[in-house]
Structure 1
Amino acid sequence: MLDFDEAQARLAAAGKPPSISESCPLHQAQGRVLAQTLFATLDLPPADNSAMDGYAIRYADYAEGHRFPVQQRCYAGLAPEALQKSKTIRIFTGSLIPEGADTVVMQEDGEEFGNEFQIHHLPAQGAHVRHQGEDVRTGDQLLAKGTRLGAAELALLASQGYAELGVYSRLKVGILTTGDELIQPGQPRSAEQIYNSNGPMLAGLVNNMGAEIVHVMHAADTEASLDAAFGTLLADCDLVLTVGGVSVGEKDLVKPAIEQFGGTLDMWRVCMKPGKPVALAYANDKPIVCLPGNPASAFAVFTVLVSPLIRGMQGRAQVFPDIQFGRIATDKVLCDKRDEFLRVQACYNAQATLELHAFPKQGSGVISSLPWASGLARIPANIQVGNGDVVPYYDLRHWLV
């Protein structure tokens, strides 16, 4: 069997990074991938300003019992006057610091009498002043090429005045499920049929990663149906994901269908559980990944094998998310000839140690384990693992985005 780490590396390198970029309005850039490195165009803050509602003073003017005449009330967005000796200017959060002032006294630390302000608690000199450029300096690198944009990144770019961004074109993905036993949810079902859960599941996984789902198709177990489906998918998509139909049974017709389009299919028996049967093919110079048919197997393979491929084809700088480590909670010794990926829930105990609790049933068709799990715990092949042993943990919050 193909070593898991080798399979992961080969799949991650199976696609080409994007070469086409486009301009995208800032407010529509959530989930897109930067096609260029961006730099700061101005200092942030652009000028010294107040971190509090309060009173701007010259620290040297303070004397116990002194009442500062209020020279001006200056709201954020207005230009303050230069501060006169022994006076104060009433300012608010975000107000510019007046010329000559060096300290802000919070309004709670003093009291106004008429039009005069008396300090009850003197802060340290320079308190509550945000200094020009203390956050970002002009010319600093803001975000590197290959960064996936979220709300935090958009806030940073907006603060620098970026209204349009150069981003890579969205990766176009097609999904194909096969099997005459499958019917679409909402349709009447006979005893020999099951509802197609793989199609909606894979569509959700792909969508969550920011790729564009072009087609979610189902093909009957016939050459004509599969040929028609692949013709559409290869014409419209950059990456095709299939489920089922790549074994050696009489109705496993995906392999010959791919060969009809000049493709070659490399069948792998990956040393992982669940998810041993995986196939990689190329047709029309586009990768096709064939996943196992059981939902939990398809989910695990997508998480640890397919998601790095998608990130690479999106142009992301980080293809492999970080792997965490936690202590497995189990009442039996775990050991298998393959790397086993258990569906687990992670939580911190009273000692702040990450504990991994496995779902009671780990069968590859146990769909109820998927919404329950927070991640996958990897039990290394041919190594005995018992309660409290430390194992790698693949957090779905990081591996499926």
Structure 2
Amino acid sequence: MLDFDQAQTLLANAAGPLQRTEHVDLTQASGRVLAADLDATVDIPPADNSAMDGYALRLADWSLDARLPIQQRCYAGDVPEPLKPGHAIRLFTGSVIPEGADVVVMQEDATEADNLVQISREPKPGQHIRRRGEDTRAGSPLLPAGTLLHAAHVALLASQGLASIPVFAQLRVGILTTGDELVQPGQPRATEQIYNSNGPMLAAMVRGMSALPVHVLHARDTETDLLAAFKTLLADCDLVLSVGGVSVGERDLVKPALAALGGELSLWKVRMKPGKPVALAQIDGKPVVSLPGNPVSAYAVFATLVTPLMRRMQGRAEIFPPVSQLRLRTAQPRQDAREEFLRVQCRVADDGGSELTPYGHQGSGVISSLPWSTGLARLPADVLVHDQDQVAYYDLRHWLA
């Protein structure tokens, strides 16, 4: 069996970024990956402007008893007149600072009557003025290629007047489930059968990674059906994920099917629990990753081993999300010959720190543990782990995004 870290590195480097790029409207950019470095095109703010509703004046004209004539009322979007000495201009948040003004006084510190304003507090030089270019300067780096775009990035790009941007094409993923015992949800089920949860689960996980589940197919446990399904997926997808049929049973036929298509296995079996039976093959330059059939095992393998590969293929700059070290709560010491990935909840402890509480039943078929869990706690192989020991924590908010 391959050690987990070796397997993760091998899978993460199984393919490079997609070469296909396209331009998308900025309103459709969230969840896409930027395909080129972008520089700022304009200064933000484009001119000195007021950070408050208030009055623009010269600091030299202020005194506690001075009553300054209001020269103009200037709203955001208006062009102000040059400020006359001994006068004030009424401004609003976002109004351009008039030529000659060097301070803005917020309206709470001012009293206006008969078109005159009196300032009750001494202003500080430059107060409440947002300077041109203090946010971004035209020509300065804005966002690097490989950025996974979210609403905050979209706001920044929109502030530059960009209507469309270059992004990598969305990763196209094919999903294949296997097993004669599986029935699609919504169909009649015999006692000896179970519903296929892996297909919908993986499709949802792929979408959560901002990729496209192009096909979600199911094949019976025959080499003919498997070959036909793999051919369809390889023709239409950049990455193929199969589930089940990769162990050593008589009807585990995924490996022979991959070999028949010219696939060479570069990985088989990982020293992790759950998730030992994992395979990686390359066919026509496309990676095929075979996951274990138990839903929890498939979930854990996808989260920890498949998502770095997907991020690389998407062109993202950050392939591996952060892994933190947190305290594990366990009633009894734990030890296993494989690295164990426990389904846990991250909770606030009595001392204000964070601690990890495992789900009560860690069986690889216990699907109810998945929506309960916030992440996976990684316990090292062949090490006795006690209550309150620090362990690695894979936060699924990051590892499945």
TM-score by length of structure 2 reads 0.97
Q: Deviations over 1:217-244 (max 9, x none)?
A: 1111122221221111010001000000
Find the counterpart in structure 2 of residue 279 from structure 1: 279
CA distance in 2, matches of 1:363, 1:191: 21
* 2:338 maps to 1:346: no
| Paired residue type of 2:380 | P
**1:122 shift after superposition:** 3.2
**1:350 shift after superposition:** 4.8
**1:386 shift after superposition:** 1.4
* 2:200 maps to 1:221: no
Correspondences of 1:211-290 after superposition (within 5 Å): 211-290=211-290
Find the counterpart in structure 2 of residue 304 from structure 1: 304
Correspondences of 1:203-214 after superposition (within 5 Å): 203-214=203-214
Find the counterpart in structure 2 of residue 322 from structure 1: 322
Aligned partner of residue 309 in structure 2, secondary structure = helix
| Paired residue type of 1:232 | T
Find the counterpart in structure 1 of residue 95 from structure 2: 95
Find the counterpart in structure 2 of residue 186 from structure 1: 186
Q: 1:86 to 1:351 in 2, by over 3 A?
A: farther
Correspondences of 1:38-187 after superposition (within 5 Å): 38-187=38-187
| Paired residue type of 1:87 | H
CA distance in 2, matches of 1:247, 1:339: 19
**1:266 shift after superposition:** 4.1
Q: Which runs of 5+ in 2 are unaligned?
A: none
CA distance in 2, matches of 1:61, 1:337: 80
Aligned partner of residue 68 in structure 1, secondary structure = strand
8 A contact 1:8–1:305 mirrored in 2:
yes
Cα RMSD (Å) of the superposition? Answer: 1.2
Aligned partner of residue 357 in structure 2, secondary structure = strand
Q: Deviations over 1:276-327 (max 9, x none)?
A: 1100011122110000011111111001100000000111111111111211
CA distance in 2, matches of 1:376, 1:269: 20
| Paired residue type of 2:308 | P
| Paired residue type of 1:42 | V
Q: Percent identity?
A: 61
* Structure 1, 252-261 or 171-180: larger mean CA deviation: 252-261
* Structure 1, 112-121 or 67-76: larger mean CA deviation: 112-121
8 A contact 2:174–2:237 mirrored in 1:
yes
| Paired residue type of 1:4 | F
8 A contact 1:49–1:94 mirrored in 2:
yes
Count residues with an aligned counterpart. 401
8 A contact 1:55–1:91 mirrored in 2:
yes
Find the counterpart in structure 2 of residue 357 from structure 1: 357
Q: 1:386 to 1:42 in 2, by over 3 A?
A: same
CA distance in 2, matches of 1:345, 1:10: 29
**1:153 shift after superposition:** 0.7
**1:369 shift after superposition:** 0.9
8 A contact 1:15–1:287 mirrored in 2:
yes
CA distance in 2, matches of 1:99, 1:239: 60
Q: 1:83 to 1:175 in 2, by over 3 A?
A: same
CA distance in 2, matches of 1:267, 1:25: 40
Q: Deviations over 1:347-401 (max 9, x none)?
A: 2335442211111111111111111111111111122221211111111111111
**1:27 shift after superposition:** 1.1
8 A contact 2:59–2:123 mirrored in 1:
no
* Structure 1, 31-40 or 16-25: larger mean CA deviation: 16-25
Q: 1:14 to 1:267 in 2, by over 3 A?
A: closer
Q: Deviations over 1:111-163 (max 9, x none)?
A: 21121111123342211111111111222211111111111111111111111
8 A contact 2:274–2:341 mirrored in 1:
yes
Aligned partner of residue 278 in structure 2, secondary structure = strand
- Runs of 4+ with deviation above 4 angstroms: none
Find the counterpart in structure 2 of residue 5 from structure 1: 5
Find the counterpart in structure 1 of residue 28 from structure 2: 28
* 2:195 maps to 1:195: yes
| Paired residue type of 1:269 | K
8 A contact 2:32–2:148 mirrored in 1:
yes
Find the counterpart in structure 1 of residue 37 from structure 2: 37
Aligned partner of residue 165 in structure 2, secondary structure = strand
8 A contact 1:56–1:98 mirrored in 2:
yes
Q: 1:349 to 1:88 in 2, by over 3 A?
A: farther
8 A contact 1:109–1:122 mirrored in 2:
no
Find the counterpart in structure 2 of residue 380 from structure 1: 380
Find the counterpart in structure 2 of residue 292 from structure 1: 292
CA distance in 2, matches of 1:192, 1:136: 64
Q: Which runs of 5+ in 1 are unaligned?
A: none
Q: Deviations over 1:248-281 (max 9, x none)?
A: 2221111222222222234522111111110001
* Structure 1, 85-94 or 172-181: larger mean CA deviation: 85-94
CA distance in 2, matches of 1:130, 1:349: 43
CA distance in 1, matches of 2:142, 2:396: 27
8 A contact 2:7–2:267 mirrored in 1:
no
